[in-house]
Structure 1
Amino acid sequence: MSSVLHAEELTDTDIEPPSPWNTEVEFGYQAHSGNSDSKSLNSRLSGEYIQGRYRLNGEWKYYLLYKDGEEDKRQSTYNLQGDYKLGQKSYAYSSFNGYDSKYSAYFTDYTLSAGLGYQFTNTEKLVIEGELGPGFRYQEPNLDEIDDDDIIFPETVSEAIVRANLGITWKPFKTLSLGTEFTAVTGSSNTRIDSEFSIVNEITEDIALKIVHNRQYHNKVPEGLHKTDSVMSINLLFLF
């Protein structure tokens, strides 16, 4: 009887429940290939909150792009998504993705979407989630900053879209995790597919090395341009 009471005392007083918050900060370097040959420095801040049936994810990225030693782009990218669990594996989601830039071909590029998600599996070693839903896309071109290597047509886009997303995270070892994510947004003006492959190796409990390869595909591009661009980055990841 005494051992049972002792266990209950540990559970109630000595073991703190896990925090609903998870925060990450990244700093790194990127090398671009495809339609551009350049280098950049980047930073990223992300947070996740999980409580009961609710899950909220937010991410902000900021980077400076240099060509021939001069600043060529300064851009902010942000994502916000809220989920509400409907059943054991299904959930409803709403998301907002966009970026603002002074130098790039688009002043603004916003995508809103809402729909249903499904968790095919959710364990400590493997997480697979898929999402599908309708939405809306708005893009305002920066006509003064369009270069020959920009994947853009000089028209303002305001259209209905369909968004699909698939995310996979596999943790084969305690300190190593592999992730991949595919996001497709299709509308009458264009179809864009973003893919990301990442490797995270924990150095300490609070610091990790993260290698990321991003690929962006457009089914329609101006004449003479590649349909695919890729970005490789090596970042230091700080966990809080």
Structure 2
Amino acid sequence: MTLFIYLTTYERALFNSQLLLILFTNFTLFTLGTALFVDDESVAEIINDERANIENDTQAVVIAENSRSAIEFQFTPVAPPPLVIEKKENRQEIKRLLQEKQKSAEERGLLQAQLALALQQNNRLEAQINHLEGEVETRSSQIAALEKNNRELQTSIRKKPAEIASDIDLLKTTIQSQPDLIEHKSVEKKDPPGEQNLPIIIVAQPDDFSGSVEFGFSYEQDNKVTRAINGRLVLDYEQASRYKFNSNFKFEMSDEDGEKSAEKYRWQLQGDYYLDLRNLVFARSDIKRNQFASYEKEDIYTVGYGRILFDENRHKFNMEIGPGYRMAVPNDGKNALSVDEFIVRTRFNYERVVSESLQLMASTVWEMGKENSIYSVNLKAQNKIYRELYLIFDFDYKYMQNVPIDTLNKEVSTGLKLLYAF
């Protein structure tokens, strides 16, 4: 590039010097012709020759200029593109915006997680509030029932101001306040506030442990001598509104002229855990042995959910439902095969206090399986005789869908027994 500029400058200087030389020569010849009186024709020839030389030099200079332009066009290097600072700044701006967008997305995700956690806590709090409202409602109804009983008791005491409630009156009050007659009650004496002139009001509270014993015996003699004995032992242990354990053992035996005609045992165990005042979960077992029934051995294990549908002053209704497993051995000789299957067990139980001394109970149980289904109904009436002594009438009906050959689908039993509660 530097060499090309140098040559161009030199050619221009040479061209200018030639023009000056030609002008100077013409001026000199003109002066000499004038001074020496040269004729016009000679001077004209000299001038024409010089003009021809000038034209030739001018053409040479033009050709050189054209060549220089061509060379300059051909060899002029293309200038390198300038650094685009703006593009770099744009890339940095885009990168910054992407980082801010990513940061905003992370913050939004964190806020969404916090919102989901808050919603879960809100739902849990709502469930707790609903649970507490249910408990408050239940306890309010219980308090209302107790207040009603208290008012009735105060009214009866006012009618008999000189008398204090006897043990039999206490038992009557217990029957009204709690349908389960077999639970023994402890006694506490309290003075009602604001009623100093009234006699003492006796309030019964349930013990943790309670139970009952049933016993029945029959003897018949005609052409044959028939004897029968049956009994039941019930034990309960309960922590109020927490859990409850129940054991129910029953037996029945009879013979005719010394030969056994019936031998039956049944042991039921059940544990209840209260979720609240009305809902519970349970686990139970039911073991049966009967040499003269359609099934000699029958073991049933069940777990499930129970609910007290209502529990008022004089009546109570509850239900249970849950899956279980049944193992039943038919009474079909030594080669009998056990029928084992999963079942669904459902139980409904209703208790009603008819009067101060009479209570009725009814329950039904459905045990539904693929191989066999069993339906049973139990009716029970118990009447207080004296203090903790009761007379019990019991009726049981059981229907089995599938039974061995030469056996009956139905089993019916009735009995009249004495019960002592402790």
Does TM, normalized by the shorter one, top 0.5?
Answer: yes
How many equivalent pairs are there?
221
Which of 1 and 2 has greater Rg?
2
- Aligned pairs for 1:192-203 within 5 A: 192-203=374-385
| Residue 49 in structure 1 maps to residue 232 in structure 2 | no
1:54 maps to a residue whose letter is Y
1:84-128 deviation line (CA, Å, top 9, x unaligned): 111231110111001235666645311000010010112341111
From 284, 299, 305, the equivalent of 1:110 is 299
Q: Is the 8 A contact 2:330 2:404 kept in 1?
A: no
| Residue 119 in structure 1 maps to residue 308 in structure 2 | yes
Deviation at residue 134 of structure 1 after TM alignment: 0.2
CA distance in 1, matches of 2:364, 2:292: 27
Matched residue, 2:207: 19
CA distance in 2, matches of 1:97, 1:84: 18
CA gap of 1:16–1:29, structure 2 versus 1, over 3 A, is: closer
From 318, 325, 346, the equivalent of 1:129 is 318
Q: Is the 8 A contact 1:202 1:209 kept in 2?
A: yes
Matched residue, 1:64: 253
CA distance in 2, matches of 1:224, 1:101: 16
CA distance in 1, matches of 2:380, 2:192: 45
CA distance in 1, matches of 2:391, 2:350: 19
Deviation at residue 184 of structure 1 after TM alignment: 1.1
1:188 maps to a residue whose letter is K
Deviation at residue 155 of structure 1 after TM alignment: 2.8
- Aligned pairs for 1:1-240 within 5 A: 17-29=205-217, 40-52=228-240, 53-67=242-256, 70-101=259-290, 106-144=295-333, 154-222=336-404, 226-240=408-422
Deviation at residue 16 of structure 1 after TM alignment: 8.2
* Structure 1, 76-85 or 134-143: larger mean CA deviation: 134-143
Deviation at residue 221 of structure 1 after TM alignment: 3.3
* Structure 1, 57-66 or 112-121: larger mean CA deviation: 57-66
CA distance in 2, matches of 1:223, 1:60: 30
Structure with the higher fraction of residues in strand conformation: 1
2:359 maps to a residue whose letter is S
Matched residue, 2:29: none
CA distance in 2, matches of 1:49, 1:81: 11
Q: Is the 8 A contact 2:360 2:382 kept in 1?
A: yes
Identity of aligned pairs, percent? 23
Gaps of 5+ in 1: 8-13, 31-37, 147-153
CA gap of 1:192–1:91, structure 2 versus 1, over 3 A, is: same
Does the residue aligned with 2:371 lie in a helix, a strand or coil? coil
Does the residue aligned with 1:173 lie in a helix, a strand or coil? coil
1:213 maps to a residue whose letter is F
TM-score for the superposition, normalised by structure 1: 0.80
Structure with the higher fraction of residues in helix conformation: 2
Deviation at residue 206 of structure 1 after TM alignment: 1.2
Gaps of 5+ in 2: 1-190, 197-201, 219-225
TM-score for the superposition, normalised by structure 2: 0.47
CA gap of 1:222–1:203, structure 2 versus 1, over 3 A, is: same
CA distance in 1, matches of 2:328, 2:211: 30
The CA RMSD measured in Å over matched residues stands at 3.0
CA gap of 1:104–1:67, structure 2 versus 1, over 3 A, is: farther
